[in-house]
Structures are given as C-alpha cells and as structure tokens.
Structure 1
Amino acid sequence: MSTVIEQAVQARLVASAPQMESVPATLRYDREDPFAIRMAFPPPATLEGNEVSWAFSRELLAAGIDAPAGVGDVRVRPFGYDRTVVEFHAPEGIAVVHIRTSELRRFLTRVQGLVPTGHEHLYLDLDHNLAELLRDAH
C-alpha cells in the first residue's frame, strides 16, 4: 500500500486583471508526515520560474472548506457554491487561488482513508526523529 497520495487540481489564479488564469497544481500527502499537506505549483505557474511548494496542516485545509481558517502564511476559506480560496502569504506578496471544493473534499477523503483524523500520531516515527536529532548534535 502506498504511503503517498498525490492529486492534480486546477487552480484559478486571482490577479488584478478581471480574468482568472488557470494553473496546474498538485496536492500531496505523505503518511510519514501525517499532519501536513503540500501543494506544489510547476515552474511555468510561478513568478520565479521554479517549482514552488507550500506545506500546511491537513486540519487547516479541512476546516477552511467550510469556514475561514488560518492566520499565518496559508489561509483557506469557502467561496461561492463550489470553490475554496487558498491564500499564500510571502514577503514577495500574496497569491490567491480558487480550487473546486469537490476536488479538495475528494483529496481529503483519500487522505482520511490512509490516515484517519486523530490517528496521525500513530504514524510518527519518533524514535527515528530522535536518533536524527542526537546524531546531528555530535
């Protein structure tokens, strides 16, 4: 059984122009990092021309589908009938994307099947992480 779930989504980039540009993005969940979701944008979709990946909590994404959530670098909120807004705040500026809520719910359902909510701690390898910290301390 795979420990990683990836799902391609179409994100609509909100810009100052009235038209929104559709950009590809990939949602990723790895059971070895059970509290995190990653969202990656390919080089053509970024200002720098490099892939950009954001990590944020699975709980933030789940909560933000139904009500505004987040106060930090990543914020999520519902928008209209079947859209969810994800805002990425960085020193360079703010990127705002709209994603179909149904795609996010499908992704979270798959994640839930891999690691049920509330059981994330069972997938942490604390012994390995502690050994890594101690190894680096020498």
Structure 2
Amino acid sequence: MITVIEQAVQARLVATAPKVETVPVTLCYDRADPFAVRMAFPAPATLEGVEVSWTFARELLTSGLQHPAGCGDVRVRPYDGDRTTVEFHAPEGVAIVLMLTAELQRFLERASALVPPGLEHMYLDMDHSLDELMRGSC
C-alpha cells in the first residue's frame, strides 16, 4: 500500500531581476504526517547551496488555491487563472515561486485519495508521537 506521494513540478522563482528562473520542485505527502505537505527545492535554487525543504499544512495549500492564505512563514495565493504563488518568508529574505495551479491540484487530489481531508486524525500514531515527546524526559 502506498503511504508516501512525491510529485515533481516546475516552479518559476520570482526575483527582482527581469530574469525569472525555472526550478524543479518536489512535492511530498506522507500518510505518517497526515496534516502536512513538504516542498523540496534543489541545491542550485537555494542561497546555501543545499537542498531546502519547507513543511507546512496541507490545508494551507488547499485554501491558497482559492484565496490568499497564511500569515506566517508560508503564504499561498492565486496569481492568475492558471498559476498559484507560494511565498516562503525566512530571516534571510523572501522567496516567491509561481506554480501551475493544475499541478498543485493534481498533487492534492492524490494526497486526498491517500488520506481524505477531515480524517487525518485517524492516521496519527499517537503512541509513537508520545514516545518521541517523552524520550529523555526522565
């Protein structure tokens, strides 16, 4: 049974310079962490020169396809009829990427088939989570 979904997509990195770079991004959804999605950016697309991953709520991505969502480190909003903007805010600055809305919707549909929205709590391993939380506390 499939428990992890990964999907490669193309994103356009928006910069202040006229050149807009296209970078490959990997979207990941893991049934073991049912409330979250992960977006991984390859080393050449980052300031540090290493792969960088951002993990945030699946609900944020879902909501952001329809209307502006998020007020923290990750913000998602429709850009035009075909694209969605995802903003990543960090102490080093802000990265803004444009992604095809259809690719994001396809990824979310696959994730929803794995864990239906609203039923995420049924896929949590609370015993394991408590063990991890309590490890080393005694």
Name the TM-score, length of structure 2 as normaliser: 0.97
Matched AA of 2:58: R
CA distance in 2, matches of 1:93, 1:135: 35
Gaps of 5+ in 1: none
Matched AA of 2:94: I
Does residue 55 (structure 1) correspond to residue 55 (structure 2)? The answer is yes
User: Could you say which residue in structure 2 is the equivalent of 1:64?
Assistant: 64
Show structure 1 runs of 4+ deviating over 3 A.
Answer: none
Gaps of 5+ in 2: none
Name the TM-score, length of structure 1 as normaliser: 0.97
Q: Secondary structure at the match of 1:137?
A: coil
Q: Displacement, 1:133?
A: 2.4
Q: Percent identity?
A: 68
Q: Displacement, 1:129?
A: 1.2
Matched AA of 1:13: L
User: Could you say which residue in structure 1 is the equivalent of 2:111?
Assistant: 111
Does residue 21 (structure 1) correspond to residue 16 (structure 2)? The answer is no
Q: Secondary structure at the match of 1:129?
A: helix
CA distance in 2, matches of 1:121, 1:52: 28
User: Could you say which residue in structure 1 is the equivalent of 2:33?
Assistant: 33
User: Could you say which residue in structure 1 is the equivalent of 2:99?
Assistant: 99
CA distance in 1, matches of 2:33, 2:49: 27
User: Could you say which residue in structure 2 is the equivalent of 1:44?
Assistant: 44
User: Could you say which residue in structure 2 is the equivalent of 1:11?
Assistant: 11
CA distance in 1, matches of 2:128, 2:40: 27
Q: Displacement, 1:134?
A: 2.7
Matched AA of 2:137: A
Q: Displacement, 1:2?
A: 1.5
**How many residues end up aligned between the 2 structures?**
138
Q: Displacement, 1:47?
A: 1.1
Listed one character per residue, the Cα deviations across residues 31-83 of structure 1 (whole Å, up to 9, x for unaligned) are 00000000000101111100000000000000000100000000000011100
